Amino acid sequence: MIKVGIVGGTGYTGVELLRLLARHPEVHVEAITSRSEAGMGVADMYPNLRGHYDDLAFSVPDADRLGRCDAVFFATPHGVAHALAGELLDKGTRVIDLSADFRLRDAEEWAEWYGQPHGAPQLLHEAVYGLPEMNRETIRQARLVAVPGCYPTAVQLGLIPLLEAGLIDVEHLIADCKSGVTGAGRSAKVPSLMAEASESMKAYGAAGHRHLPEIRQGLGDAANQPVGLTFVPHLTPMIRGIHATLYGRLTVEPGDLQALFEDRFTNEPFVDVMPAGSHPETRSVKGANLCRLAVHRPGKGDTVVVLSVIDNLVKGASGQAIQNLNLMFGFAENAGLEAPAMMP
């Protein structure tokens, strides 16, 4: 049994960590922090967790207390983990960051996209990008893991097989992606209100979204060369879920694309390649740490279309964070993550 802490426990990813860890056989949540809600019981804020965390209350972040944990999750806005991650690592605590603080390898690029200087550039050299389907063995040895973003997870898993096989034009990739409103976080924002988001859909960040450099970095690793990507996210009137429709232009005759995807992910516990002709639905992964994929070649032409769906709060955030924890501590990779998706 290991002890873990959660910094930033009142947002959607924080409560999702608590929900999933309640079923984890090897983890005890020792501390959960929130400056604004310090002293409030977890079960008072989240009644769905009554009976699981009745003795746990939110507290202000304390490096000494967190440093006594084996691992600490940061479920915080960008910039927060910079200030505390190094101190915790010095105490021997392993850090799993769900924010964007350590995803980009270039501190100057991070500063350009996030509008502030990088607060811990000295840690970037050891931060491991936590996409298990690409970096499983490196994650096992990591002290600091940067959990991928939700859009980047869906896009990378959908395009990795094609890029690794060298089948598509790497300069003209397209990712047309839709997200539920929880992707915007729990704080009150007018565009995320039900009266504003319901019965409507809109694109945003078409000229450049913060996830773009992260996706390009990961796809470039898969292709072993820089890639060109057009990435357009959309807000849809649903609570959870991401649907990514991905387009690539074939540069060679690809053979059996269905077999390519099935072979690439055959040993991946959290990637489901659906039968040929399928169209995966976001509701089929709701609450599950799972990416469902389908690959199509319309009219047997030179375009390949990949459909990728995940739950943005689970495989796109907290579930993937726990998947990384399991790898780092030698637990079964599916520990705490065995539950199937919820329907309806």
Among all residues, which ones are annotated catalytic?
Answer: 150
What is the DSSP code (8-state) at residue 317?
Answer: I
- Region of 39 (left: φ > 0; alpha: ψ -120 to 50; beta: rest) is left
- Nearest to 271, CA basis, from 223, 323, 220, 326: 323
Give the CA distances from residue 64 to residues 2, 70, 120, in Å, rounded to whole numbers and listed in that order: 17, 12, 20
CA separation for the pair 151, 244 (Å, rounded)? 8
Helix axes 150-164, 132-140, angle to 10 degrees: 100
CA–CA dist 57, 53 (Å, integer): 8
Burial-class residue 220 by CB neighbours within 10 Å (0-12, 13-18, 19+). Answer: middle
Distance CA 103, CA 79 (A): 12
Dihedrals φ, ψ of 139, to 5°? -60, -40
CB 79 within 8 A of CB 101: yes
- What is the C-alpha to C-alpha distance for residues 126 and 145, in angstroms, rounded to an integer? 9
CB contact burial 251-269 (16+ within 10 A = b; e otherwise): eeebeebbebbbebbeeeb
Can you tell me the distance from the alpha carbon of 53 to that of 32, in angstroms, rounded to the nearest whole number?
11
Q: Number of C-alpha atoms within 13 angstroms, CB side, residue 339?
A: 16
